[in-house]
Structure 1
Amino acid sequence: MAPTLLVPASASVDRTKQQPDEGVLRKRNEELEKQLKKAMEREEKMREELQRMWERLRVAEEAEERLCSQLGELEAEAVDQARSYRSNIMTLMDQLSAAQKLLQAASISVPTSSTSSLLLS
């Protein structure tokens, strides 16, 4: 036996009165289509903006990589220069020490830094 569906008496009222007018449906459909079109336009604009931002990010990353590379090269150059200057200072100190020893061996008095400052003033 198939199940039966009981319909209340109030439900048997004319359904045409409950359904919206065709003009109202068309108007609502047009509104929804306009909203959809606007949403699609916004989505396309956002997609284009995202693409532009992505390109800017790529350019910035490449610039950062170049700057890091240049910074590394400059640091290496600075270390080389510091080593060279240190080597020159050590050579000059050795020469000065040897000159002082020669002067002391020759019994010539060499003014110290405190004595030289008195002489200069």
Structure 2
Amino acid sequence: MAPGIAIEASPRHPKRAMNGDLGVEEILRRRNEELEKELKGSLEREEKMKAELKKTKERMRMAEDAEERLCSQLGDLEAEAVDQARSYQTQIRSLKEELSRAQKLLQNAKSLKF
């Protein structure tokens, strides 16, 4: 036997007894409208969240690209800094040797005068 709604035949409401319970139908219709509105709102929120997620993914991709460029630039700067440090070390050694030779010349000149 199929489930159903039991409706009493009422002498005061013969139409209700003949056509079924109109109150239940109205309640179900209204509830259905409420559920459809909720579903529509839920779908709209879902679409909004999808769009927001897409924007966030794009911003994240852009941030990752920027990070890669910065890392590359940092690597270039580090290599340049190492080259400059080596160049300065070479220059300092050269100046030390030149100063040492000048000091030896001065000492030799002083010893020749006395």
Q: TM-score of the superposition, structure 1-length normalised?
A: 0.73
Q: Considering only aligned residues, what root-mean-square deviation do their CA atoms show, in Å?
A: 1.6
The answer to whether structure 1 residue 96 and structure 2 residue 87 are counterparts is: no
9, 15, 18: which one aligns with 2:6: 15
Cα deviation, residue 90, structure 1: 0.7
1-side partners of 2:98 and 2:7: how far apart?
115
2-side partners of 1:66 and 1:28: how far apart?
56
Q: How many residues align?
A: 94
Residue 44 of structure 2 is matched in structure 1 by: 41
Unaligned residue ranges in structure 1 (runs of 5+) = 1-13, 109-121
What is the one-letter code of the residue matched to 1:86? Q
What is the one-letter code of the residue matched to 1:24? I
Identity %: 62
Give structure 1 regions of 4+ aligned residues with deviation exceeding 3 angstroms: none
What is the one-letter code of the residue matched to 1:98? R
**1:97 counterpart SS class:** helix
1-side partners of 2:76 and 2:54: how far apart?
33
Cα deviation, residue 16, structure 1: 1.9
Unaligned residue ranges in structure 2 (runs of 5+) = 9-20
- The structure whose RCO (Cα within 8 Å, separation 6+) is larger is 2
34, 53, 56: which one aligns with 1:53: 56
- The structure carrying a bigger helix percent of its residues is 2
Deviations 1:36-59 (A, max 9, x none): 000000000000000000000000
Q: TM-score of the superposition, structure 2-length normalised?
A: 0.77
